[in-house]
Copies of this chain bind each other. A is one copy, B any other.
């Protein structure tokens, strides 16, 4: 038999299609009696409402677009998992968009929302891939949207982030307390606000401690393991080496650690290494990595909830949610070598 439609169920249970629809969407409107009869027919026929028909009528897809720069990244993956779980609970599906850093792909995914394929969008990039008329208020021009993790410049937009500057400061203060004064930084991509914020925290902590900033110790990076390796190679070649290095991601820290091991340096004996993110592997590294913990689960959950509220038409009480970070001190940091 061909796949049953709402009409088939209607016929089977001796009611009109309208009533079948009500049984599914609004059971309260239907009498106990017919409801059970219709439900029985639905079960027996194995009827699944065709989403297209419903979507066409309601103009709701039941999908949420999630745009991330790289699914392979542990931080993103962790957040996505939470998001997916929340979405499913709320009856939504996740459309995954991995931009691999390319703006045209961002654009493409944003169009999904414009064409109605998704009801809302969760952006993990700082860019806003929508054409905007800046003379008018933003909110009216945008679909339901939440910007998470990488905060863009627009104040009006719903956001979920951690205080990256404070996180970096906390990291630095830990190193300063251990007596380090020559502390290198390995940055993330400077296009990302996250990385700029962390850099600001780095500078601020040093200034606060009255330590002159040596630009030679600030090494560019891209959050990836390989760039951590390269950065450490560079640092080791310096005639006046740092005694500690603050990597803006755990991945880079892991890269840096591997280079130190390779050349036989002791951690933290010869150099302290500090990460950022607290990915799953941080604790398994030898020595276990001191780092700044990001609550991935909570970030994901909060983003999703903020989006769901918008989709329900509610006005969330706050449009800017800051999740708490925490400094996790493990074994990769220690006092300055004498």
Could you tell me the distance in whole angstroms from the C-beta of A184 to the nearest C-beta in chain B? 19
- Does A59 sit at the interface, judged by CB under 8 A? yes
A77 and B71 contacting across the interface, CB-CB below 8 Å: yes
- Does A108 sit at the interface, judged by CB under 8 A? yes
Please report the C-alpha to C-alpha distance between residue A105 and residue B84 in the assembled complex, in whole angstroms: 11
B72 and A78 contacting across the interface, CB-CB below 8 Å: yes
Please report the C-alpha to C-alpha distance between residue A219 and residue B258 in the assembled complex, in whole angstroms: 29
Pick from A49-57, A159-167, A236-244 the stretch touching chain B. Answer: A49-57
Could you tell me the distance in whole angstroms from the C-beta of A41 to the nearest C-beta in chain B? 17
- Does A98 sit at the interface, judged by CB under 8 A? yes
B284 and A225 contacting across the interface, CB-CB below 8 Å: yes
- Does A100 sit at the interface, judged by CB under 8 A? yes
A225 and B63 contacting across the interface, CB-CB below 8 Å: no
B74 and A72 contacting across the interface, CB-CB below 8 Å: yes
A98 and B117 contacting across the interface, CB-CB below 8 Å: no
- Does A286 sit at the interface, judged by CB under 8 A? yes
- Does A111 sit at the interface, judged by CB under 8 A? yes
Identify which of A55, A66, A254 gathers the most chain B CB atoms within 10 Å of its CB.
Answer: A55
Cβ contacts A12-37/B at 8 Å (1 or 0 each): 00000000000000000000000000
- Does A112 sit at the interface, judged by CB under 8 A? yes
| A-B contact list, 30 entries, CB within 8 Å | A48-B114, A48-B116, A49-B115, A50-B115, A51-B116, A52-B55, A52-B59, A52-B61, A53-B56, A55-B56, A70-B81, A71-B80, A71-B81, A71-B84, A72-B77, A72-B81, A74-B74, A80-B96, A84-B96, A84-B97, A85-B98, A93-B112, A94-B96, A225-B281, A254-B281, A257-B284, A257-B286, A258-B283, A258-B286, A286-B286
Which A residues are closer than 8 A to B by beta carbons? 46, 48-53, 55-56, 59, 61-63, 66, 70-72, 74, 77-78, 80-81, 84-85, 88, 93-98, 100, 105, 108, 111-112, 114-117, 131, 225, 229, 254-255, 257-258, 261-262, 280-281, 283-286, 288
